[in-house]
Copies of this chain bind each other. A is one copy, B any other.
């Protein structure tokens, strides 16, 4: 038993953290925030060249073959840097869906492009409000052609390839893959402008089915992605705690650092506790992902629930610790607060994962 990342992966973590600190500065994030670019294309190119996007894609499909733990390490750093790139959409969702549900031919067709960043992937699931449930899927594929409306689709405005959740001719929801060339898209205004979100209107787009796994294959993609999202959320929460900690040490009120007041101390202690619990649950998820463990779904739901709570708490209480300047546009606190909600609502929000967690717990206890 060994419950820590290997030295190689710790080195990857340190390297990626250094790289992102240097290249993914707040100024870069703010270019997307202010609408100057839909995503940090230059940064994306560099990330692709380092093999990060394909970290968990086997080498035979053009990936780096670092395994899932490597991807988890990178996800945490993406969260820490509030990176304005389609990493989650391409790597955790589109590539994973094709890898887990696609045929060998589909893998060969799509994964190399996703891995080297020459194509951006997205995962078109939502059709407006509501969490991921089979009954919410009205998009439909008839005769190999997809019709329906998907929104919001993360990175839908910049993606080349979409994995789409739609119903087949028997009204059973499942996974499909398509090139997005020519699809009508509209960028959406959202809480977190540092990540592209779009509405996609499909009107007879030719698509291929990704396997025949039905809703099970959709849920499998969501479960696996939940662990990677959890790492990204842990990274964001950690960054917030560090920001709050530094500010509390340097800002004085009543002649003393505000971090010497118990109100601030205990707030930060609570952020720390939530973060550590989330981190530990994410670690177990990383192992389950790498080992394809039978309790991966429960591990994923647990990691997701903890991580969403930790990032939400850390991002809002980081603002509170900063006081007045914390809610200005100029200070970076709100970048994390926005990202926290974006990550928390993607692939199902907290109530959805809590309900699923108990479903899985009931199944396990019944076994």
CA distance A352 to B173 in the complex (A): 38
Q: How many copies does the complex hold?
A: 2
CA distance A262 to B263 in the complex (A): 6
Q: At the interface, yes or no: A184 with Cβ under 8 Å from chain B?
A: no
Q: Number of contacting residues on A, CB 8 A? A: 4
Q: At the interface, yes or no: A19 with Cβ under 8 Å from chain B?
A: no
Q: At the interface, yes or no: A327 with Cβ under 8 Å from chain B?
A: no
Within 8 A of B (CB), among A215-273: 261-263, 266
How close is A81's CB to chain B, nearest CB, in angstroms? Answer: 34
Hey, which chain B residues are within 8 Å of A262, CB to CB?
Answer: 261-263, 266
* Nearest neighbor of A264 in chain B, beta-carbon distance: B262
How close is A203's CB to chain B, nearest CB, in angstroms? Answer: 40
Majority secondary structure, A binding face: helix
Hey, which chain B residues are within 8 Å of A266, CB to CB?
Answer: 262-263
How close is A158's CB to chain B, nearest CB, in angstroms? Answer: 43
Within 8 A of B (CB), among A258-316: 261-263, 266
CA distance A303 to B266 in the complex (A): 31
* Nearest neighbor of A261 in chain B, beta-carbon distance: B262
CA distance A262 to B261 in the complex (A): 7
CA distance A261 to B344 in the complex (A): 35
CA distance A266 to B263 in the complex (A): 8
CA distance A263 to B262 in the complex (A): 6
Hey, which chain B residues are within 8 Å of A263, CB to CB?
Answer: 262, 266
A-B contacts, 5 of them at CB < 8 A, read A261-B262, A262-B262, A262-B263, A262-B266, A263-B266
CA distance A266 to B266 in the complex (A): 11
Hey, which chain B residues are within 8 Å of A261, CB to CB?
Answer: 262
How close is A254's CB to chain B, nearest CB, in angstroms? Answer: 12
5 smallest beta-carbon distances between A and B, as pairs: A262-B262, A262-B263, A261-B262, A263-B266, A262-B266
* Nearest neighbor of A263 in chain B, beta-carbon distance: B262
How close is A317's CB to chain B, nearest CB, in angstroms? Answer: 14
CA distance A51 to B262 in the complex (A): 50
CA distance A296 to B262 in the complex (A): 43
* Nearest neighbor of A266 in chain B, beta-carbon distance: B263
CA distance A262 to B267 in the complex (A): 12
Within 8 A of B (CB), among A139-160: none
How close is A257's CB to chain B, nearest CB, in angstroms? Answer: 14
How close is A325's CB to chain B, nearest CB, in angstroms? Answer: 22
* Nearest neighbor of A262 in chain B, beta-carbon distance: B262
CA distance A266 to B264 in the complex (A): 11
How close is A221's CB to chain B, nearest CB, in angstroms? Answer: 35
CA distance A261 to B263 in the complex (A): 9
CA distance A261 to B266 in the complex (A): 12
CA distance A86 to B266 in the complex (A): 43
CA distance A263 to B263 in the complex (A): 6
Q: Mark A76-117, 1 if CB is under 8 A from B, else 0.
A: 000000000000000000000000000000000000000000
CA distance A221 to B262 in the complex (A): 46
How close is A298's CB to chain B, nearest CB, in angstroms? Answer: 26
CA distance A262 to B264 in the complex (A): 9
With a 10 A CB-CB cut-off, give which of A261, A262, A266 has the most chain B CB atoms.
A262
CA distance A113 to B95 in the complex (A): 79
